[in-house]
Chain A
Amino acid sequence: MSAIAYTLVVFILLAALATALFRDVLSAIVVFGAYSLGMAILYTFLLAPDVAMTEAAIGAGVTTILLLLTIARTSRPPTDRLFERIHLPAVVAVGAFVLVLFTLLGDMYAVGDSDAPVWGWEALETTPSVYYVQETFADTGAQNAVSAVLASYRGFDTFGEAVVVFAAGVAVLLVLKREVFT
């Protein structure tokens, strides 16, 4: 089972590398579609259906069209080389950053680990998950614990997300409108 996931990761890495290295922007956009396909299967495999559906809808449809709109309004330099020349200092900087991230990998809890902090520390009287289930109604008056976490406990975070989505929507509308009327 995990063999499928590892093969998928190899595929995704290849697609990401090709997307980054292609000299021709149109080819990079096409190959980015392949990357999104691999990611959607991986999300599904890791039992995250909502993320997989978003990736399916956005990766297969919206991203391609938005990127195409972008290169339609800008110039696409003709090239004879297939791949971009690799910029060594950038590779060193990104590689160092990835190495730092890898050192953190050892401290991550496995999926479903009963020692993970979500299930409570020794110092706490109750675990966070039990707290939300028991005290949500008294704290917020909301009957649905998930809605209460989204809209009340982390309400400012959700508000920020809504602002970002609204701004993105306005930008997309602007770009599309200009495209239609020219």
Chain B
Amino acid sequence: MIPAGVSIEEIFLLAAALFVVLAIVMFYRAVAGPTTQDRLLAVNVLGTNTVVILALLAAGLDEPWFLDIALIYALLNFLMAVAISKFTVERGGVL
């Protein structure tokens, strides 16, 4: 399946590069909006995208500790969505 002369690590790095380019595309929605909820969802998708990029870099560069940072993001990604949802529903209540 893999073309000759290309290692699996290079394919992982290429995929990571593509996902970084996609992050810029996703960022269009974060700027264009039009509502705050659109921006929030865009940043949420960006967070998931970050986890994917970090995991691909961990595989591509053979640095397993990148996965620790990916795990932290996977765990904390929902926090902003929850906080801003609470803020929008009951204005003033954040925690």
Contact = CB atoms under 8 A, between A and B. Distances in A.
Interface of A: 1, 3-4, 7-8, 10-11, 14-15, 18, 24, 26-27, 29-31, 33-34, 37-38, 40-41, 44-45, 47, 49, 52-53, 56-57, 60-61, 64-65, 68-69, 72-73, 82, 176, 179-180
B79 A37 contact: no
B87 A72 contact: yes
B79 A61 contact: yes
Nearest to B78: A60
11 contacts: A7-B21, A33-B46, A37-B47, A41-B57, A49-B66, A52-B69, A53-B68, A60-B80, A64-B80, A72-B93, A73-B92
How many B residues touch the partner, as a band?
A: 35 or more
A30 B40 contact: yes
B46 to A, nearest CB: 5
Nearest to A30: B39
Contacts of B17: 3-4, 7
B8 interface: no
The 4 A-B pairs at the shortest CB distance, nearest first, are namely A60-B76, A56-B72, A30-B39, A37-B50
The A contact surface, by secondary structure, is helix
B53 A34 contact: no
A33 B78 CA distance: 12
A72 B91 contact: yes
B69 A45 contact: no
A11 B94 contact: no
A102 to B, nearest CB: 24
B94 A26 contact: no
